[in-house]
Amino acid sequence: MRMDRRHCLKLIALAPFAWAAAKDEDGSVSRVGDGEAMVIDGQGGLYDPYGAGESPRFSARAASEMAQSGQTATSFTVNEVGNAPDVWDSTIRNIAERDLSILNNPGLMLKATTVADLHRAKAEKKIGVIYNVQDTSLVGARLDRIRLLKGLGVRVMQLTYNNRNLSGEGCLEPGNAGLSRLGRATIARIEQEKLLLDLSHSGQRTVAEGIAAATRSMTISHTGCRALIDHPRNQWDPELKACADKGGVVGIYWVSFLAANKRAASADLLRHMNHAVNVCGEDHVAVGTDNPLFKTEIDEKARAEQKQIYEQRAAAGVAAPGEGPDVFNIVWDWDSHLRFRLLADGLAAAGWTARRIEKVLGENLLRLYGDVWADDN
């Protein structure tokens, strides 16, 4: 049977989407491979690495890879972290710039503030962008700012970022002092505004006390399992389980902290995901890559940029152990815009059912967002 050139090219283009068929007991196969599954990165990034100059439009290559990725949505950080006096003003500028980027690329992205927006993104074959902040230092004692951030589209608020702020201890603080009274008030205000509380980057006591203080489900959006790799950015089993027990969701990241040699591979990622499911249950685990969508090209320019980023983070006191001028926070063998397809393949090969794969790739976060954002849907 002959195929014309156009049909042949179409089959080649679709080839990366085929993956090992994970089946459920009823014989059904996951929808990840055909683009129908909800795929959400609970902590990601969306920049165009191929764009020319200062053009506000994403390049044709970026647009093509976004469409191929199968991704439905990503949670995107809009704030500046740390205790510097200008973090609020910088964050407002960042939000304006991200709003403008979405407006300039209406065929590729939409700003997602409700679960309905995520379903619309899937239907329109766009990527929904969920705004998050990864620190409450920009709020401090001015808790009304949380409502302002909500009005600007923020839907996820992380309490601390590595170091201490007025709310509590970050994971790099040696004292492990936990939540402050203001931190408890901040959590209460986050919940009052029906925003999602994120306890990533927090110290062990801050996480435990934050979960105990919360009355609604929360997330630890991007972390690893400390029982496997003892690193301060990873979480111990009791905190992982406590988050799940309150209906929360734990996202496993794609960074060097998954491996003892600081060179994380797919086997390391799968080990952490399996452990998280064993501790939390399959309804409470997700993906939070802490990566941009596109492949990281490791060349001289990338090495120079990584060195500069590390030096800036080290100077600001936010670099975690294991970060370095030559350490790239990626899963090396799955560093691709097709990473979710590769993950689905890997999970299927590891014996995961279709239903479990779909939950972890997006449905668990979709449920959590719906539970927490409730009245805004």
Sign of the C-alpha dihedral computed for residues 39, 44, 49 and 55 taken in this order? positive
Q: How many CB atoms lie within 10 A of CB 218?
A: 29
The reported pLDDT for the residue numbered 178 is 95
> How many angstroms separate the Cα of 186 from the Cα of each of 175, 210, 261, 356?
21, 10, 37, 34
Q: At what angle do helices 237-245 and 266-280 cross, to 10 degrees?
A: 60
Six token digits for residue 134: 């990864």
CB 276 within 8 A of CB 225: yes
Six token digits for residue 118: 């995520």
Q: At what angle do helices 339-349 and 60-69 cross, to 10 degrees?
A: 20
**Domain range 26-376, CATH architecture:** Alpha-Beta Barrel (3.20)
pLDDT in tens, the chain (377 residues): 333 433 333 333 333 444 445 655 555 455 555 567 899 999 999 999 998 767 789 999 999 999 999 999 999 999 988 888 899 999 999 999 999 999 999 999 999 999 999 999 999 999 999 999 999 999 999 999 999 999 999 999 999 999 999 999 999 999 999 999 999 999 999 999 999 999 999 999 999 999 999 999 999 999 999 999 999 999 999 999 999 999 999 999 999 999 999 999 999 999 999 999 999 999 999 999 999 999 999 999 999 999 999 999 999 899 999 999 999 999 999 999 999 999 999 999 999 999 999 999 999 999 999 999 986 54
Phi, psi of 43 (to 5 degrees): -160, 100
pTM of the predicted protein model: 0.91
The reported pLDDT for the residue numbered 14 is 37
Of 135, 163, 32, nearest in space to 79 by CA: 135
Q: Which helix (H) or strand (E) holds 312?
A: helix 300-316
Bridge partners for 196 per DSSP:
156
Listing DSSP states for 68-119 in one string gives HH---EEEEE-SPPSS-TTHHHHHHHHHHHHHHHHHH-TTTEEE--SHHHHH
CB 129 within 8 A of CB 114: no
Q: Which helix (H) or strand (E) holds 56?
A: none
What distance in Å separates the CA atoms of residue 119 and residue 72, rounded to the nearest whole number? 8
Bridge partners for 292 per DSSP:
45
CB 194 within 8 A of CB 376: yes
